[in-house]
Copies of this chain bind each other. A is one copy, B any other.
Amino acid sequence: MSAKLKLDYSNEPAREPIFVVNSEQPFNAEPTTDLLTKFFITPTEWFYVRGHGPVPELSAASHFVEVEGAVNKPLRLSLEDLRSFPKKIVTAVLECAGNRRNEMSVIKKVKGLGWYHGAISNAVWGGCLLKDVLEAAGIKSKAEGARHVEFLGADVCEEDNGTAYGSSIPVDKVLDLNGDVLLAYEMNGEPLTRDHGYPIRVIVPGYIGARSVKWLKRIVVRPDESQNYFQQRDYKLFGPQVDWDTVDQWWDRASPIQELNLQCGICVPQAGALVKPGPLTVSGYALSGGRRIERVEVSLDGGKTWHVTELAQEQKTVPNTYWAWCLWRITVDVTGPVEIIARAWDSASNVMPENVAPIWNLRGVMNNAWHRVPVNTSKSAKL
């Protein structure tokens, strides 16, 4: 019988007023979606914020990252030590597994923060490759127990009675020459801000934001997955038949969510917008866990016919390393009230599912149904 945890939120960083705030303590907020895709690189102060407790107060000068577990030479690394590894710059989108959760709640109430489609942002991360660090630590073989890499933060989480946030990813993602897993100390060319993990965070490109652990304190190379709450009792996707009465038997039967699914969002116009009849520019984002986006399409007739949008996507020479989001836009002709629908195709010929109801799940995660935005027309509208 545990009393509700009393955590100290008296020293939170200042934040911009542009956010839609889902929770003040811990602070969870997304930028308004009309601003979200204004820039290919999200300004740091607009980047969505996902926290599970008070923002830790850490000093770069006295902070260390421990590397332990299935390694021959455990390490204790300062920021200066990490800076001595070759520097790597990666542009990567982070997306919360709960992005677009509100659309699931319309079908049937789900548990979790009420995100719209702005729990996603794109930044340039600078740091060293975790691969280099683990090799310096003499990582053991899989047979010797190096199969998962666990990350533990310096924070204290509301959800699990004050334990630190933790997560793990498969060792192959880290050791992959094109995996690009970073220990990042820079975001958009500046030191990390407190909200985004100062002084050091993990960046796992192509994976849900939950694996890019902030305020990184310990790295444990392990034979099994992290047993942390956020790996084992959160961020799992069940079938629509699983409810609160039956969920206990399901936690161990589903895998933790890791790679991001195919996704797109309409950011302009916003839902319910009043627009002038005539040409209307529609724009938004798309991504697919590292896969190239082949095409984003927009329909004004419920999905019977589709218009191909213009796509701005990074040029990559290595397949399946499209870590950044891409932005798309199209001008369509709007004559009256209409539902604008967008869907994306990825380089493996996958397309987003049509409806939310058949992918509804208790935790409201990974909603990637066709994105639908209704608008109304008026001759006196500004848009």
* Residue ranges of A at the interface with B (Cβ–Cβ < 8 Å): 142, 147, 170, 172-173, 177-178, 237, 239-241, 254-255, 257-262, 289, 291-292, 294-295, 297, 303-308, 317-319, 345, 347-355, 357-359, 365-366, 368
Are the CB atoms of A366 and B353 closer together than 8 Å? Answer: no
Alpha-carbon separation in the docked complex, A352 to B350 (Å): 8
Q: Give Cα A347 to B349, complex, Å.
A: 16
B350 close to A350 (CB less than 8 A):
yes
- A358:B303 contact, CB within 8 angstroms: yes
- Asked if residues A261 and B349 are in contact (CB atoms below 8 Å), the reply is yes
* A11–B239 CA distance with the chains assembled, in angstroms: 52
A307 CA to B238 CA in the complex, in Å?
11
Cα(A237)–Cα(B173), bound, Å: 30
Residue of B nearest to A352 (CB): B353
Please, how many angstroms separate the alpha-carbon atoms of A228 and B237 in the complex?
42
List residues of chain B with CB within 8 A of the CB of A292: 255
The 7 closest A-B pairs by CB, nearest first: A259-B348, A349-B366, A261-B349, A261-B350, A354-B354, A303-B358, A239-B306
- The CA-CA distance from A348 to B350 in the complex, in Å, is 12
Contact assessment for B351 and A308 in the assembled complex, using a CB-CB cutoff below 8 Å: no
28 A–B contacts, CB within 8 A, in A order? A172-B317, A172-B318, A237-B294, A239-B306, A239-B308, A240-B306, A241-B306, A241-B307, A254-B294, A255-B294, A255-B347, A257-B349, A258-B347, A259-B291, A259-B347, A259-B348, A259-B349, A261-B349, A262-B350, A304-B357, A306-B358, A349-B368, A350-B368, A351-B353, A351-B359, A352-B353, A353-B354, A354-B354
Distance in Å from the Cβ of A292 to the closest Cβ of chain B? 8
Cα of A169 to Cα of B352 in the assembled complex, Å: 25
**Interface pair A239/B354, CB less than 8 Å apart:** no
**Besides the known contacts A237-B345, A261-B348, A303-B358, 19 further A-B residue pairs in the complex with CB atoms under 8 A apart:** A147-B317, A172-B317, A173-B319, A237-B349, A239-B306, A239-B308, A240-B306, A241-B305, A254-B294, A254-B295, A255-B292, A257-B349, A262-B348, A306-B358, A349-B365, A349-B366, A349-B368, A351-B353, A352-B353
Taking the closest CB of chain B, its distance from the CB of A299, in whole angstroms, is 8
Q: Which residue of chain B has its CB nearest to the CB of A355?
A: B354
Residues of B within 8 A of A366 (CB): 349
Residues of B within 8 A of A261 (CB): 348-350
Q: Which of B258, B305, B317 contacts A240 (CB 8 A)?
A: B305
A349 to B238, CA, bound (A): 10
**A319 with B239: in contact, given A289-B348, A348-B261, A353-B354 (CB under 8 Å)?**
no
CA distance A289 to B347 in the complex (A): 11
In the bound complex, what is the Cα–Cα distance between A237 and B351 (angstroms)? 11
Q: A357 to B301, alpha carbons, bound, how many Å?
A: 13
Q: In the assembled complex, which residues on chain B have CB atoms less than 8 Å from the CB atom of A348?
A: 258-262, 289
For A241, the chain B residues whose CB sits under 8 A away are 305-307
Residues of B within 8 A of A258 (CB): 319, 347-348
In the bound complex, how far is the Cα of B304 from the Cα of A239, in angstroms? 11
Q: Within 8 Å CB of A295, what residues of B?
A: 239, 254
Residues of B within 8 A of A306 (CB): 239-241, 358
